Structure 1
Amino acid sequence: MEPLARRTLLRSGLLVAATAVAGPALLTGCGSGEESPARSDGKPRRGGTLRAAFTGAGAGETLNHFVGGTALDMVRARALHATLGDLDPSAPDGVRYGVLETIEVNGELSAYTLRLRRGLTFSDGSALTARDVLWSLRSPAEDPASLPVYKNPAATFDFAGARVENDHTLVLPTLAPVADGRLLLCQGNYLVVKENSDFSPEVATSGPFRLEEFVPGEGCALVRNEEFTHPELSDAPYLDGLELRSLPDSEARAAALTGGQVDFAHDLSPVTARTLGEDERFTLTSTSPPYVSGLFFRMNLAHEPFRDNRVRTAFKLAADREAMVESVFFGDATVGNDLLSPGFPDYADEIEQRPFDPDRARRLLREAGAEGMRVTLTTGPETPGMVEVATLYVENLVAVGVDATLEELPAGQLFADYPAYTRLPLAASFSVPTPALPLYQMSYGGQNPAALGWDRPDVDELVATARGTSGEESARAGLAAQRALWEEGNTIAPVFKPFTTAHVPGISGVAEDLFEQFPGFSRATLS
């Protein structure tokens, strides 16, 4: 298809979707086109273009996923760039490798050797080498604009001491002994970008698709990367093309689905999902723990009242978690306990559930001299439920005597200026499914900006011990670290929600990409 025709297709589809949102109800149009016959031999059918809608960042969207924090940024990046690996609890090492053949760790847990699969190339035919892997891991740490999640490998591995032994072997020394380096590197979001990439539309890519068209704020058109070699399936990807639409609102994504402009709508709100669940034309799927997202609020310790742990505890006790689960998610969510990563083996489920106790919250605020304190909670519709849960939480705070207000930013803007985000007194966020100990390193350890002032070297040391040992010693240290976070931390995590998607019949292979919160399409088929 010619670029102009594809651009017209993108824009016309988005225009129809936007028009649908303006209407009084979801469209009930003609579906998503004719179905193609399935292969009689049972093998996945090749061909077709799958159209999918995700939350984007509007006109400010970029192909540089190191600075893009929306679902669309990650899904687009995973389609264009091959992963090091994904978390897979059923696999021997707890991971499913992508460009890597294996990761070996020495007996002292002081060095990890990454061995690449042979014969990997970029879309321009050039070889994918260990130098590209090293650049992809190291460069975000050197760019102040990169999101903290991409800087985290630099907090575990000594990139200055890294050795490229040959095109297929990279040795990464650790800054301190760690046993979970495989889990850290293979989270599905560490991707291989060509060395010294400028992220222009012309840059060669290593993933299952290559870019044909990119219109910031509207979407992108991708086609099969014929140079891609799937780690397990010799003939994947199966799709001819993939169109990713940027639609920030859940209703807009649902309207595009019901109106026939897309085949797959990601991360739907509870109300939208309930409506679509009654429509037999579509299939809904929801994730379950540990593949759920925590909706949480972080108190900035640079804000004077939050330096007092009595205030932090009061803010935690003020949250009516059950009401949030029932009123926002119709019961299809899980009450949180102010710790992230529920469902993963290293999560401290021994810690008692924090109750809803507004009376004690009021007493603690009085004792701390913080009655009537003013605070603004800043949120945005980065994932469905964020604004609604934040709204209820502000009501909870007002009920215990806090002069609390809500500021809602447009979709895609909450994390757009990350330095400004880290200065907010009370900031909303959401988590992606990650084991607890690597997540601490990603979001708290070493004065991480994402921690909003949390600086506890003693807890960092506990996490380092847990990550650098095994058995009972690791478990004791991990529990102690999470107990400290629960008792003294600056995070209120009242709700964990599933990722709910809807799609037309005949789509398969999406869940098999493992990274369910940000779907991949390397195995997807249309029938």
Structure 2
Amino acid sequence: MIRRRTALTATAAATLTGLAPAAWSQSKKDSLVLAMTLEPPGLDPTAGAASAIAEVVQYNVLETLTKIRSDSTIAPLLATSWTVTPDNKTWAFTLRPGVKFHNGEPFNAATVKYAFERAVAPDSTNKDKAVFANIVNMRATDDLTIVITLKNTNPDFLFQIGQATASIVEPRSAATNNTQPVGTGPFKLDSWAKGNNLVLSRWDGHRDVKSIALRRVTIRFISDAAAQVAALLAGDVDLFPRVSAARNLAQFRADKRFQVLVGGTRAKTVVAINNKKKPLDDVRVRRAIAMAIDRKQVIDGVANGFGAPIGSFYVPGAPGYVDLTAVNAFNPDRARALLKEAGVTTPLELSLKLPPAPYARQGGEVIAAMLAKVGIVAKQENVEWAQWLSGVYGQKSYDLTIISHVEPLDFGNFARPGYYWNYENPKFNALWDKINSTADIKQRHALLAEAQRLVADDAVLAYLYQPTAITVAAARLKGVWKDMPISANDLSALSWG
């Protein structure tokens, strides 16, 4: 039913495309309409967990010391250069001179120190708080030099301080960044019509404003897959990163108005399981859920084949990755036997809460049908994104949910106290501490492999697949990212050809 509706909507939109060339023929020199699947609940990535926040503000409104490129390499941003001691624990950053925040306040070593101390404060809700907790000392040797000393060596440090959670915020305005973000980036928030769109305008006070081609960017929020395709075909959207258009790629590729980019991600799409709710606190039940799911069928049915199966919370290409897809592999007979061993009377009713993203809503139908075959009735409940964040992520009010974790370096979530999976394993915590204190890369990778096996054996989640990033954009648009190591939309790199 979903496939038919998508096809019909796309076909209907295609009949309107006779109007689109006229609209697109106008000289679009300095404006852009970008679309996103989910609307952020706020605009402070140092306080909220939603990746949609970074999609709006990272590198656009707020900036970081380093910048992560599409190919995962690191470039200078607010820091122009850095050095590190031989033990890889003490970093000295030279900061960019002449930088100001949108409110006129200066950027300097003191603001870096403030931002990182705020991230680790007792009341901080920064989802990467552990990164900053590893800092044992910060000192500003002058206004443009800050020296940071780590407790444990961290080979990912330069990458992590390029993520949105390490955004440098200004002390006087930090408290209101959720609705009125103030940063050093080339864009400022112009307006936000919640439920519809958000507008960013170029900030003329930016240090390199002449290099910013776009004057105004309108960001629309479109969660329905069919509506996403229709908006592109109608010419209402110029750029849609991470679009749910796998079933329509041939149509877009055949249309000279568009460019289609298919790239990699570090995301993990999973069925998250509340590990403390009975009978899900029994590993046999969690394993049964995992074994009831045919990953290949999920990838084919939900992502149209665009994805790679995963057997743990780690993706191919990540340092230290091991293939664990054979652990708790698809085996409905074994799933039924495990439920019987656990003393579960079937049918077992469980809630399955689904956020608005197409992979979740469509995936819910596919996975519920698979679970039904082993005696598990997954009661699907569609929830809005804000409801998911407050109810599932915040209050842990759920049995199962389908979600894609897009952060590249979030394996430590299994050691986070009170995280929404409700997983607590002292063995993993000790292993994670050992990983973080191990400097030797070969040994570190061996420990990471052990940790991957542990959470796979424990079936903390039902690990599904690594999604592929599909981007559809106007053919004349330059600077579009192909690969997505992080969820960001770097507007400073975009221009019309």
What's the TM-score once normalised by structure 2's chain length?
A: 0.86
Give the match for residue 66 of structure 2: 85
Does the 8 Å CA contact 1:446/1:457 hold for their aligned counterparts? no
Matching residue of 2:39: 57
Answer yes or no: is the 8 Å Cα contact 1:513–1:520 preserved in 2: no
Q: Deviations over 1:273-294 (max 9, x none)?
A: 4554443322221222xx2532
**1:513–1:521 contact (8 Å) kept in structure 2:** no
* Cα distance between partner residues in 2 of 1:140 and 1:390: 35
State whether structure 2 residue 250 is matched by structure 1 residue 281: no
Q: Matches of 1:186 and 1:144 in 2, distance apart? A: 23
Does residue 444 (structure 1) correspond to residue 418 (structure 2)? The answer is no
How many angstroms does 1:194 deviate by? 1.8
**Distance change in 2, residues 1:497/1:216 (3 Å):** same
2:423 paired residue number: 454
Provide the secondary structure at the position in 1 that maps to 2:190: strand
Corresponding residue of 1:377:
352
- Which residue in 1 is equivalent to 2:239? 264
Residues 474 and 56 of structure 1: is their aligned pair in 2 closer, same or farther, counting only changes over 3 Å? Answer: closer
The whole-number CA distance in structure 2 between the counterparts of 1:429 and 1:333 is: 15
- Decide whether the 8 Å contact of 1:264 with 1:501 is kept in 2: yes
Alignment partner for residue 76 of structure 2, among 85, 90, 97? 97
Partner of 2:296: 322
Structure 1 residues 461 and 112: CA distance shift in structure 2, 3 A: farther
What is the match of residue 226 of structure 1?
A: 204
Q: Specify the alignment match of 1:505 in structure 2.
A: 475
**Cα distance in 2 for residues equivalent to 1:256 and 1:352:** 40
> Would the aligned equivalents of 1:250 and 1:272 in 2 still touch at CA under 8 Å?
no
Residues of 2 paired with 1:244 and 1:52: CA distance?
A: 5
Tell whether 2:278 aligns with 1:309. Answer: no
String of CA shifts for 1:471-521, please: whole Å, max 9, x gaps.
332122111111111111411121222121211111011218965643211
Post-superposition Cα deviations, 1:77-131, rounded to whole Å, max 9, x if no partner, equal: 122111333445978xx52232122444444444444432222222344321233
SS of the residue 1:449 aligns to: coil
Match of 2:139 in 1: 163
> How has the CA–CA distance of structure 1 residues 306 and 72 changed in structure 2, closer, same or farther, with 3 Å as cutoff?
closer
- Paired residue secondary structure (2:433): helix
SS state of the match for residue 377, structure 1?
strand
CA positional deviation for 1:407: 1.4
Query: How much has 1:49 moved relative to structure 2?
Result: 0.8
CA displacement 1:139-165 (0-9 Å, x = unmatched): 35548684x53434244334xx43344
Distance 2:354 2:314 in 1: 19
Q: Which is further off, 461-470 or 306-315?
A: 461-470
Partner residue, 1:193? 169
Q: Cα offset for 1:353?
A: 5.9
Q: How far off its partner does 1:260 sit?
A: 2.7
**1:331-346, aligned counterparts within 5 Å?**
331-346=305-320
Distance 1:89 1:293, change over 3 A: closer
Query: 1:429 offset after TM fit, Å?
Result: 1.6
Residue 358 of structure 1 and its aligned partner are, at CA, apart by 0.9
Distance 1:295 1:469 in 2: 30
Verify the 8 A CA contact 1:108 1:177 in the aligned structure 2: yes
1:149 aligns with 2:118: no
Identify which range, 236-245 or 414-423, moves more after superposition: 414-423
Paired-residue identity, %: 21
Q: Paired residue for 1:423?
A: 397
- Distance in 2 of aligned mates of 1:151 and 1:275: 44
Secondary structure at the counterpart of residue 80 of structure 1 = coil
Structure 2 distance, partners of 1:73, 1:503, is 21
Residue 322 of structure 2 is matched in structure 1 by 348
2:209 counterpart of 1:239:
no
Determine if the alignment matches structure 1 residue 48 to structure 2 residue 25.
no
Shift of the 417–137 alpha-carbon distance from structure 1 to 2, 3 Å rule, reads farther
Shift of 1:459: 2.0
Moved more, 261-270 or 200-209: 200-209
Q: Secondary structure at the match of 1:464?
A: helix
SS in 2 for 1:133: helix
2-side partners of 1:89 and 1:252: how far apart? Answer: 27
| In 1: Cα distance, 2:273 partner to 2:211 partner | 45
User: SS of the residue aligned with 1:306?
Assistant: coil
Q: Tell whether the 8 Å contact from 1:51 to 1:262 is kept in structure 2 after alignment.
A: yes
- Measured after TM superposition, the shift of residue 339 of structure 1 is 2.4
8 Å CA contact retained: 1:217, 1:246 = yes
Counting matched residue pairs gives: 481
Q: Distance in 2 between matches of 1:80 and 1:174?
A: 28
Q: Which runs of 5+ in 2 are unaligned?
A: 1-7
Contact 1:317 1:354 in 2 (8 A): yes
- Aligned amino acid, residue 197 of structure 2: G
8 Å CA contact 2:307, 2:468 repeated in 1: yes
Note closer, same or farther for the CA distance 1:283–1:178 as it changes in structure 2 (3 Å cut): closer
Cα RMSD (Å): 3.2
SS of structure 2 residue aligned to 1:206: coil
